[in-house]
A = this chain, B = another copy of it.
Amino acid sequence: MRRQTGHRGLGEQTLSIAERKGRHRAERESRIVAAARVIAEREGWNAVTIRRLAEEIEYSQPVLYSHFENRDAIVAAVAVEGFQELGVALRDAERQATGPQNALERATAAYLSFALRQPALYEAMFVLPTNLRFAEAETRPELRAAFEALATVVTPFCANTDVATETFWATLHGLVELERSGRIRPSAHDERISFVIRAVIASQNSSRDSG
């Protein structure tokens, strides 16, 4: 590594300083997101206030607004992390699968366990208001990738991939939400999963029959 002498590479030095600054900013930003996520998971999203986050990163409140437009944007940042991690979890499930049906089963289990183990994260992704765009041109790659990962496991069983993936996704999401809010019996968790898997596989045959 080279060290700057007095007058050599003044331009280089300012660049390096700017870089250090940018790094500092980026670090601080991810500290904000991380703090939001931790507090949300421990005490719920209501406990994630600007004041609390400011206290956590040891800066004043206005600093947060130099990183995010508003509180919703912080939630959105957490959500993007979530989509990224969900995508990883789904692709891991597929990679370990022994066949198409097993991939479907593993992905389903991975999705549900992801959501139920990190309810606040999932809430940021699907329930809380964010400025994220979906099913559009400007959709962020993390979101697209997660959707694609789901599509991969559904495709072998269904002709119309997009429709099937959207519907399958809806089922998983509905199961998560209703279970999380205590509207369906936790005890029947596994039975519902088997039911879904069977339905997806069976729909394959019926769509062959009826066009």
Q: Which residues of A contact B (CB under 8 A)?
A: 126-127, 133-136, 158, 160, 162-164, 166-167, 169-175, 177-178, 181-185, 188, 191-192, 195-196, 198-203, 205-207, 210
B177–A196 contact, CB under 8 A? no
In the complex the two chains form, what is the Cα distance from A184 to B174 in whole Å?
Answer: 14
Is the Cβ of A206 less than 8 Å from the Cβ of B195? no
Contact B169 A174 (CB under 8 A): yes
What are the residues of chain B within 8 A of A181 when measuring CB–CB?
A: 126, 134
How many copies of this chain does one complex carry?
2
Q: Are A169 and B184 in contact (CB under 8 A)?
A: yes
> Are B167 and A173 in contact, with the CB atoms below 8 A?
no
A191 to B164, CA, bound (A): 9
B166 near A184: Cβ-Cβ < 8 Å: yes
Known: A199-B200, A205-B202. A173 touches B166 (CB 8 A): no
Given that A198-B210, A203-B202 are contacting pairs, would A174 and B170 also be in contact in the complex, using a CB cutoff of 8 Å?
A: yes
Could you tell me the distance in whole angstroms from the C-beta of A48 to the nearest C-beta in chain B? 15
> Can you report 22 A-B residue pairs in the complex whose CB atoms are below 8 A from each other?
A126-B177, A127-B127, A133-B182, A134-B184, A135-B184, A135-B185, A158-B195, A162-B188, A166-B178, A166-B184, A166-B185, A166-B192, A167-B171, A170-B174, A170-B178, A170-B184, A173-B174, A177-B177, A198-B203, A198-B206, A199-B200, A203-B203
Q: Closest Cβ of chain B: how far from A108's Cβ, in Å?
A: 12
Checking B134, B195, B205 against A163 with a beta-carbon cut-off of 8 angstroms, the contacting residue is B195
Bound Cα distance from A177 to B136, whole angstroms: 17
In whole angstroms, how far apart are the Cα atoms of A172 and B177 in the complex? 12
**Interchain nearest-CB distance for A120 vs B (Å):** 14
